[in-house]
Structure 1
Amino acid sequence: MKTFLYPATALALTLSCTGANAAELRIGVLTTLSGAQAAPGVEMRDGIELAVKQLGGKVGGQPTALVVADDQFNPGIAKQVAERLVRKDKVQVLTGIIYSNVLLTAAPVVLEAGRIVLSSNAGPSAYAGEKCDPGFFNVSWQNDSVHEAAGKYATDKGYKRITTIAPNYPAGRDAIAGFKRMYKGDVVDEAYPNPSLSTFR
């Protein structure tokens, strides 16, 4: 099953899992900082920087360095940046990712290197249940769980025929899958608009 931890707990766990020494804990903050989808990414970066500042520059009692990078809401760029963060910048933790399509290309790079991915927002089904990776921690929610509740609600309210709409990328498809899992009526159509028109996760 997917693991949910508060950020401080997961980062403290990282200290032992990665063999980090007292010299410095290096955290990669990979998030969306440019383009139409940047607003939550900028807030994510600012929140993480503020948290480390309020902790006196230490996480888990260890001096901490943040390496911030922009994924540009582009999965291909996210993968390249994740490779740089792991190989060049030597980060032990990757966090800050907002969107599931970005996480699905960046996370494998980090996990295969034996590092930790602390997903601060995205919760794709590809890292849930039997597919969960021991290095993957989610402090948000499963993409489809909220929509399962909506499907159950629609069924309980007696809605017989429904058209669904969600952005055409992993989180949108997870949302519809979750809804349909619990909805007992007839889904007459499914629409998947371009995700560049939305800021869904």
Structure 2
Amino acid sequence: MIIDILSNMIGDYISSNCSISQSDKEKAIYALKAILGEVIKIIILILLFYILHRVKFFIFSLVILISIRTFSGGIHLKTFNQCLLFSAFIFIITSLVAPIMPKTYSEIYYGIAILDILSVAVKSPCPSPKRPIKNFNRLIRLKILSIFFTIIWLGILFFYITDTFLFNCGLATITIQSIQLILSHREVLK
């Protein structure tokens, strides 16, 4: 894959021009693969949702997801193509399906929000197996930030978003992220 080739080339360049260990070189290559993969995936998804005339919902969902998932983690797939397809599926739900759902009772929305906060509080963080958490203080910091951003976004949705389409998009994003945490939870501290 082009991402692997490019990451390895940059990693080789860095290691030949800087004095870094083999372990640091491997970490740099892993980080490069992750960053390049995410950039390419986001470009492809932006083009897809541009064609579907749903870029506004996609960007809104993406911002919410990035701000929570960065700290909470979630499901991690093995290949770029699997990740792209899974991400496309998730964003189709949040950006295409959720916005057209009819408005429902406030109690249902509040119940979903409470369940989202609880699942994030209990199940996060859920890091990639390639980047386990080795420090208890880091684990607590990630958990607090996950809860914080979940509550902030729910507050924004409930108190500032009056557009039902955007509200449903945002709540679906948070709910799907909390479901991912429930489904992907594994031993965190290594």
TM-score normalised over the length of structure 2: 0.27
Greater share of helix residues, 1 or 2? 2
Greater share of strand residues, 1 or 2? 1
TM-score normalised over the length of structure 1: 0.26
